[in-house]
Amino acid sequence: AQVLVIGGGPSGSYAAAALAREGHDVVVLEAATFPRYHIGESLIPSVRHHLRFIDAEEKILAHGFAHKPGAAIKFNQYKKEGYTDFVALGHDNASWNVVRSEFDEILLDHAASCGARVFQSTKVTSISFAPASGASDLGRPTSATWIHSPPDDSAPCEGLCTGTIEFDYLIDASGRAGIMSTKYLKNRRFNESLKNVAMWGYWADTGIYAKGSSAEGAPWFEALTDESGWAWFIPLHNGTTSVGVVMNKDALSKHSRSRSTLGSPSPSPSSPTFGSFLWSGTPLTTRYLTALDLAPGVRKLVGRNGPIDSTTDRDETVRTASDYSYSAGTYGGEGWRVIGDAGAFIDPFFSSGVHLAMTSGLAAAVSISASIRGDCTEAEAAEWHSQRVAVSYTRFLIVVLSAYKQIRAQNMDVLSDVGEDNFDKAFAFIRPVIQGNADLGPRLSELEVQQALDFCTDLFSPTTPAQHAAVRARLESLRVHEAVDPGGRGVAPGMSPTVGDAALDVDAPVLAPAQLDEILRRVHPRTGRAGAGSFLREDAEEETRRVLSKINARRVIHRDHTGVHSLEEEALGGMAARLERGRLGLVRVGGERGAGVRVDEGEGEGV
301-330: average pLDDT: 78
Q: What is the pLDDT of residue 395?
A: 86
Query: What are 55-100's pLDDT values in tens digits?
Result: 999 999 999 999 999 999 998 888 889 888 888 766 778 999 999 9
Percentage of residues in the chain with pLDDT exceeding 90?
53
Let me know how many helices (H) and strands (E) the chain has, helices first: 18, 22
More confident residue, 146 or 461: 146
What DSSP string runs through 218-271? --EEEE-TTSSEEEEEEE-TTSEEEEEEEEEHHHHHHHHH-TTTTTS--SS-SS
Judged on CB neighbours under 10 Å (0-12, 13-18, 19+), 502 is: buried
Strand residue runs (E) in 282-400: 318-322, 326-328, 332-333, 336-338
Predicted local distance difference test score (pLDDT) of residue 497:
44
Cα(50)–Cα(562) distance, integer angstroms: 10
Q: Quick one: pLDDT band at residue 606, thresholds 50, 70, 90?
A: low
Categorize the per-residue pLDDT at 151 as very low, low, confident or very high, splitting at 50, 70 and 90: confident
For residues 304, 309, 315, 319, the Cα torsion angle rounded to the nearest 10 degrees is -50
Question: Residue 191: pLDDT above 50?
Answer: yes
Using the predicted structure, report yes or no on whether residue 476 has a pLDDT greater than 90: no
Distance CA 570, CA 592 (A): 7
Q: In this predicted model, which residue has the larger pLDDT, 472 or 18? A: 18
pLDDT given at position 402: 85
Q: Which residue has the higher pLDDT, 391 or 477?
A: 391
For residue 315, pLDDT beyond 60: no
Each residue of 502-551: pLDDT tens digit? Answer: 688 877 878 888 888 888 988 898 765 655 556 677 889 999 998 898 88
Q: What percent of the chain has pLDDT over 70?
A: 75
Please compute the mean of the pLDDT values over residues 319-336 and round it to a whole number: 95
Q: 103-132 burial by CB neighbour count: b if 16+ within 10 A, else e?
A: bbbbbbbbbbebbbebebbbbbeebebeee
Instruction: Parse the chain into domains and list their residue ranges.
Output: 391-457, 461-558
Give the chain's mean pLDDT. 82
Average pLDDT of 310-314? 49
pTM score of the predicted model: 0.84
Pairing of strands 66-68, 95-97: antiparallel
- Rg over alpha carbons for the chain, rounded to the nearest Å, is 25
Q: What mean pLDDT comes out for the span 253-281?
A: 49
Most confidently modeled range among 135-139, 183-187, 283-287, 515-519: 183-187
pLDDT tens, residue by residue, 408-452: 875 555 545 666 565 556 555 444 444 443 333 444 555 666 677
Whether the Cβ atoms of residue 149 and residue 316 lie closer than 8 Å to each other: no
Residue 52's pLDDT is what?
96
Is residue 172 classed exposed, middle or buried when 0-12, 13-18 and 19+ CB atoms within 10 A define those classes? buried
Q: Report pLDDT digits (tens) over 364-376.
A: 999 999 999 999 9
Closest residue by Cα to residue 200 from 292, 266, 313, 279: 292
Which of 39-48, 87-96, 116-125 shows the lowest per-residue confidence on average (mean pLDDT)? 87-96
pLDDT at 498: 55
Q: In sequence order, what are the residues at sequence separation of 6 or more whose Cβ sits closer than 8 angstroms to the Cβ of residue 232?
A: 42, 200, 219, 220, 221, 222, 242, 243, 244, 245, 246, 298, 348
Q: Is-contact 168 260, C-beta < 8 A?
A: no
Q: Within 13 Å and on the Cβ side, how many CA atoms surround 603?
A: 29
